[in-house]
Structure 1
Amino acid sequence: MDMTDTKAGLCDQFPSYHNSDLFSDFTIKCGEIKWKVHKFVLAVHSDVLKKCCHGTFKESSEGVLDLSEHEEIHVESLVHYLYHFSYDYVLPNANPDKHLGEGSFHIDMAIIADKYFITGLNALANAKFADDIAPFVQDDETLAPLATKAFEVPQATSLARELLVNSIVRNRTLGDNPRGSVASAMRDNGEFAVDVALALQSSIPDTRLSIEQIMRSLEAADHARRVT
């Protein structure tokens, strides 16, 4: 057995300790829900989580990391990732739009991973967005909220942001919907607007045309907002 197989074999042991009392020495909670975890596992994934376990913070002395600021489904997926190196998305019955719901979920997971410096989870969340969502999102009403969420924490969603911007340019979203949701979202987020403008410059030979298209769309969105 080579070293690669040995490492894989060790990782394969992690799932059996997921939310298990066996050797558990730490707790993650969200509201009233608690998960039994292991300091070693947290430390393997993140220096931030490691400091929560072994540093001078209250989490270390109390043996509890309270993540109640996040939604339970996100924390559950985070804990699942720590032991399985993966997570799944289950479409809530209340959200019939699969791509918007799942896309938002993956962006949220990328943001949470960035906050706690869980680089593997961040990469996985961006990859899931790229594979499962980006190829199918083309309409103005879905692109806008996903881009708005992704650009809230840009350092966490670099791949997702790039794919959303490329989709907006490729599908001529601004040209077809100059007063639509994407144009309005660009008006609210300068970095989003700049990224779209730069992408348009690369895709349209006449740079002036791309800038004029951006300006017309933003002006139309601003005018529509004032009228309503």
Structure 2
Amino acid sequence: MVTFCEGISNFLGSADLSDFTITCGGHKWPVHRLCLSLHSSVLAKACNGDFKARYLEGQQKTYDFSEYPKETVAALVRYLYNFDYEVHGEEHGQRMCFHVALAIMADKVPKAFDDHEEGIFADMRQYDIPGLKTLATEKFQATVDETQHAAELAEVAIVAYGAEAATKDICKAIATQLVKHESSLPGREEGEPIETVLQDYPQLAVEIIKLMRPKVSEYPRPPECVEKIYTCPMGCGAKLKAYIPNNKGDYTCPKCGQDRWGQNWARCVQSS
């Protein structure tokens, strides 16, 4: 298997046996239909001319990715042959967004759009490349821990939550990172960029709340704080389930409204 993969990588950028071309703006990459088809069901259809969209892929033996940045297309082509890609971007936030963009690009095409009608494929930006999506997600998860500034998380959150169905694991990693760095949350020192994002993408707020909510099972009450069933010391017949310390003030019966010291309530505990 390793030898086979190494052999495939030798054909990256090579015109030898090339029978298809990927284009982006003025750039061209000679590729091989077999390689494209093995990775992607969508590109396989493009190679076979199954789409009737504006690209005319099958007849012209070319596929135009001009709606994408050149660096993103170059990373895709490299992955098709090397099962890896080089990260583009000078800033940390740009590199994180690069991983997210590739994960979105490689996501499975929604079933509703999986047909050959003219016009549908023109706006289809997902190419069903499972290996690339997994790799991009893993690279993002390894990179997000290095984030130092809230503005970087805000930038990548906009990209990820803009395509939430394709970036579920990435979105969770972003929310987890925000909880780790509480200064990035709204109302904190660096919280302003994230506050703006939360207004546009409330699902991020939901994820943060879920992560911050303490798990009751992790914080069990000590034995002396277990709730018990009490009857009202005044004889009104009310019963309530609560924890009432013996020596800490008066407690009011919710039925008759009478206050009694904790020790009085303790004498009225029902036997289990």
TM bucket (normalised to shorter chain) is 0.7 to 0.9
Give the match for residue 7 of structure 2.
Answer: 13
Deviation larger for 108-117 or 154-163: 154-163
Cα-Cα RMSD? 2.0
Alpha-carbon separation, structure 2, partners of 1:130 and 1:193: 19
Tell me which amino acid in the other structure corresponds to 2:205: A
What residue number does 2:209 align with?
Answer: 197
- Are residues 1:104 and 2:97 paired? yes
Q: Which residue of 2 aligns with 1:62?
A: 60
In the alignment, which of 10, 22, 37 is matched to residue 31 of structure 2? Answer: 37
**Looking at both structures, which has the greater relative contact order when contacts are Cα pairs under 8 Å and sequence separation is at least 6?**
1
Residue type of the alignment partner of 1:126: T
Relative to structure 1, the CA distance from residue 78 to residue 178 in structure 2 (aligned partners, 3 Å threshold; closer, same or farther) is closer
C-alpha distance 75-31 of structure 1, shift in aligned 2 (>3 A):
same
Mapped to 1, the partners of 2:172 and 2:148 lie a distance apart of 14
- The residue identity in structure 2 corresponding to 1:12 is E
Partner amino acid for 2:29? W
The answer for the alignment partner of 1:180 in structure 2 is: 192
Distance in 1, Cα, partners of 2:88 & 2:50:
37
What does 1:138-177 align with in structure 2 at a 5 Å threshold?
A: 138-172=148-182, 173-174=184-185, 175-177=187-189
Aligned partner letter, 1:102? R
State the identity %. Answer: 32
State which of 41, 46, 49 in structure 1 corresponds to 2:43: 49
Equivalent residues in 2 for 1:90-101, closer than 5 Å: 90-92=88-90, 98-101=91-94
Question: Could you tell me how far 1:33 is from its partner in structure 2?
Answer: 0.5
Count of matched residue pairs? 194
Take 1:179 and 1:125, find their aligned partners in 2: how far apart are those partners?
27
Unpaired runs of at least 5, structure 2: 108-125, 220-272
Deviation at 1:78, TM superposition (A): 0.4
> In structure 2, what residue type is equivalent to 1:46?
S
Residue 128 (str. 1) matches residue 139 (str. 2)? yes
Aligned partners of 1:138 and 1:167 also within 8 Å:
no
Q: Which of the two has greater helix per residue?
A: 1
Deviates more, 1:134-143 or 1:47-56: 134-143
Structure 1 178/134 Cα, relative in aligned 2: closer, same or farther at 3 Å? Answer: closer
Deviates more, 1:25-34 or 1:165-174: 165-174
SS in 2 for 1:136: coil
1:187-223 Cα shifts (integer Å, max 9, x gaps): 11122222222222257999xxxxxxxxxxxxxxxxx
Structure number with larger C-alpha Rg:
2
> Where do 5+ consecutive residues of structure 1 fail to align?
1-6, 93-97, 207-228
Do the aligned residues in 1 keep the contact of 2:71 with 2:88 (CA within 8 Å)?
A: no
CA distance in 2, matches of 1:189, 1:110: 19
Report the residue type matching 1:39 in the other structure. R
Q: Which amino acid aligns with 1:125?
A: A
Distance 2:190 2:29 in 1: 48
3-state SS of the aligned residue for 1:167?
helix
Q: Sort the Cα spacing of 1:179 and 1:18 in 2 relative to 1 into closer, same or farther, 3 A.
A: closer
Matched position secondary structure for 1:27: strand
Q: Tell me the CA shift for residue 177 of structure 1.
A: 4.1
State the Cα distance separating 1:179 from its structure 2 match: 5.4
Q: Which has the higher strand share?
A: 2
- Indicate the larger mover: 65-74 or 153-162: 153-162
Instruction: Name the SS of the counterpart of 1:199 in structure 2.
Output: helix
4+ residue runs of structure 1 moved beyond 4 angstroms? 202-206
